[in-house]
């Protein structure tokens, strides 16, 4: 009996792409699989027919020969044993169809997984973060066993896993599905240890505390991370180690508060200096500087000291120091001091707007507010 056209079997055009061929084949394989049609003897023939058509058309050379010469170009013998004949069992077929879904389809050894990355929180003073520092840290981690060099075997020899044959995966057949799973005997390594190392118990890794020197660059800020490549946990079975991330945490400072590359501080000023003006000694990270306070300075006024902040670790720009004046009210006054203040208060005119403009402006706003509320 003459064979049907392969494109007709799969239900696709001659210009069909590889993805279209695969989708068509998958649809027919699901439809005619014997497990789904146990009472229909014709399904296996349809199944073989679809398999034969797909095996030819998915191969570029066979497809070109078929397009030019027909069936004779790909299967001169005309029998099942030729290039287009049905071979293999149902499990092999569905390994091809569903391999891309379940990660199977082929004898692949699982790659060794690198060790885990670690995070270490490093507390610094503001001065240390601004100027940079070298600091030794102690990191608890899983390190490579020196006795077996991370192999886990006492003599360094491993045997091929008898369960998976060294592949690292086993195939599980569940109904119409063929699923690849990690080998439970060797956990995907493909090898087994008959003589495990006594120091690490065959794990290839041991618990240890590693002392490392970390160079903290100048200008780091709270939350910045420094990566130390290869200083994380050792990988299992001799796999490469992970990385260590040192996260900077800057302690609160008694004087300065950092915002980006700028520093902020509050400067308490006595009444006479604020009223008459003068100079103050201001602390900076580079030492003390003089700040000139003009007469009649009000509380809350901000003074900017250029380039007295933090030099950025990224842009290398230096921020500013922002000084906020806070007027300090005298406390624990003596009787004489109180009398002098009363005499001073008596020298003000009845029109206090001349001496207390902000107070008078605020009182005016209060009166207008109540007028609106009562009108």
- pLDDT tens digit string along 233-289? 998 777 889 999 999 999 999 999 999 999 999 999 998 999 999 999 999 998 999
Residue 92 in domain: no
151 shares its domain with 233: yes
**pTM of the predicted model over 0.85:** no
> Is the pLDDT reported for residue 93 higher than 80?
no
Q: pLDDT digit string (tens) for 337-360?
A: 999 999 988 887 666 667 777 777
Query: Which of 1, 113, 17, 99 minimizes the C-alpha distance to 58?
Result: 17
DSSP assignment letter at 4? P
130 shares its domain with 232: yes
Beta strands 205-216 and 133-144: pairing type?
Answer: antiparallel
Cβ atoms of residues 220 and 168 within 8 Å: no
- Measured distance CA(81)–CA(134) in Å, rounded: 73
Query: What CATH number does residue 158 fall under?
Result: 2.10.230.10
Q: What are phi and psi of 306, to 5 degrees?
A: -65, 140
Q: Which helix (H) or strand (E) holds 57?
A: helix 43-57
317 shares its domain with 361: no
* Residue 173: pLDDT band with limits 50, 70, 90: low
Q: pLDDT digit string (tens) for 179-211?
A: 778 888 777 777 788 788 888 888 888 999 999
Cβ atoms of residues 281 and 290 within 8 Å: yes
124 shares its domain with 81: no
Residue 113 in domain: no
Q: What is the mean pLDDT of residues 55-83?
A: 70
167 shares its domain with 141: yes
**Between 97 and 200, the higher pLDDT residue:** 200
Q: Residue 346's Cα: distance from chain center in Å?
A: 68
194 shares its domain with 227: yes
Query: What CATH number does residue 80 fall under?
Result: 1.10.287.110
135 shares its domain with 204: yes
**Between 129 and 29, the higher pLDDT residue:** 129
* Residue 178: pLDDT band with limits 50, 70, 90: low
- Mean pLDDT (the chain) is 82
Cβ atoms of residues 285 and 308 within 8 Å: yes
Beta-ladder partners of 272 = none
Residue 94 in domain: no
Number of residues in the chain: 375
Task: Enter the tokens of residue 201.
Answer: 């118990």
360 shares its domain with 303: no
> Is the pLDDT reported for residue 82 higher than 70?
no
- Measured distance CA(53)–CA(11) in Å, rounded: 11
Query: What CATH number does residue 315 fall under?
Result: 2.60.260.20
Question: Which residue shows structure tokens 């008898």?
Answer: 162
- Measured distance CA(132)–CA(373) in Å, rounded: 59
128 shares its domain with 206: yes
- Check residue 104 and give its pLDDT: 42
Residue 100 in domain: no
Cβ atoms of residues 348 and 289 within 8 Å: no
Query: Which of 255, 265, 263, 246 minimizes the C-alpha distance to 312?
Result: 263
Strand, coil or helix: 259 = strand
Range of the domain at 15: 6-87
Residue 103 in domain: no
Q: pLDDT digit string (tens) for 295-328?
A: 999 999 999 999 999 999 988 899 999 999 999 9
Strand, coil or helix: 270 = strand
Residue 59 in domain: yes
Q: Which helix (H) or strand (E) holds 35?
A: none
**What total number of domains does the chain contain?**
4
Neighbouring CB atoms inside 10 A of 334's CB total 8
First to last CA, the chain: 106
Q: What is the mean pLDDT of residues 30-50?
A: 77
| Helices (H), ranges, the chain | 6-10, 18-32, 43-57, 60-69, 71-74, 90-102, 126-131, 271-276, 335-346, 357-374
Q: pLDDT digit string (tens) for 203-233?
A: 888 999 999 999 999 999 999 999 999 999 9
Residue 102 in domain: no
132 shares its domain with 238: yes
Residue 109 in domain: no
127 shares its domain with 239: yes
122 shares its domain with 177: yes
* Residue 362: pLDDT band with limits 50, 70, 90: confident
Percent above pLDDT 70 for the chain: 85
């Amino acid at each position: 009996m003459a064979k049907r056209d392969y494109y007709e079997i799969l239900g696709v055009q001659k210009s069909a792409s590889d993805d279209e061929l695969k989708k068509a084949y998958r649809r027919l394989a699901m439809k005619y699989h014997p497990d789904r049609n146990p009472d229909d003897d014709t399904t296996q023939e349809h199944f073989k027919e679809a398999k034969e058509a797909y095996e030819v058309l998915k191969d570029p050379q066979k497809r070109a020969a078929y397009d030019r010469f027909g069936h004779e170009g790909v299967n001169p013998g005309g029998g099942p044993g030729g290039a287009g004949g049905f071979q293999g069992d149902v499990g092999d077929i569905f390994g091809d169809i569903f391999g891309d879904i379940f990660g199977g389809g082929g004898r692949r050894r699982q790659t060794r997984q690198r060790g885990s990355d670690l995070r270490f929180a490093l507390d610094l003073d503001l001065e240390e973060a601004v100027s940079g520092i070298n600091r030794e840290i102690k990191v608890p981690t899983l390190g490579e066993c020196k006795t077996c060099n991370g192999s886990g075997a006492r003599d360094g020899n491993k045997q091929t896993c008898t369960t998976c044959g060294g592949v690292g995966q086993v195939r599980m057949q569940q109904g119409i599905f063929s699923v690849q799973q990690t080998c439970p005997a060797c956990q995907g390594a493909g090898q087994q240890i008959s003589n495990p190392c006594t120091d690490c118990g065959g794990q290839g890794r041991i618990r240890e505390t590693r002392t490392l020197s970390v160079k903290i660059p100048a200008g780091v800020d709270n939350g910045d991370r420094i990566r130390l490549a290869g200083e994380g946990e050792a990988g299992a079975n001799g796999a490469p180690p992970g990385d260590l991330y040192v996260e900077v945490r800057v302690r609160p400072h008694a004087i300065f508060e950092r915002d980006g590359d700028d520093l902020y501080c509050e400067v308490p000023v006595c009444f006479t200096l604020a009223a008459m003006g003068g100079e103050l000694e201001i602390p900076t990270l580079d030492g003390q500087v003089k700040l000139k306070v003009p007469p009649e300075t009000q509380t809350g006024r901000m003074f900017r000291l250029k380039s007295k902040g933090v030099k950025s670790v990224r842009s290398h720009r230096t921020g500013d120091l922002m000084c906020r004046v806070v007027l300090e009210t005298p406390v624990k006054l003596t009787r004489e001091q109180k009398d002098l203040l009363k005499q001073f208060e008596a020298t003000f005119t009845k029109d206090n707007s001349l001496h207390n403009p902000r107070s008078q402006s605020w009182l005016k706003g209060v009166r207008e507010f109540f007028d609106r509320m009562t009108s």
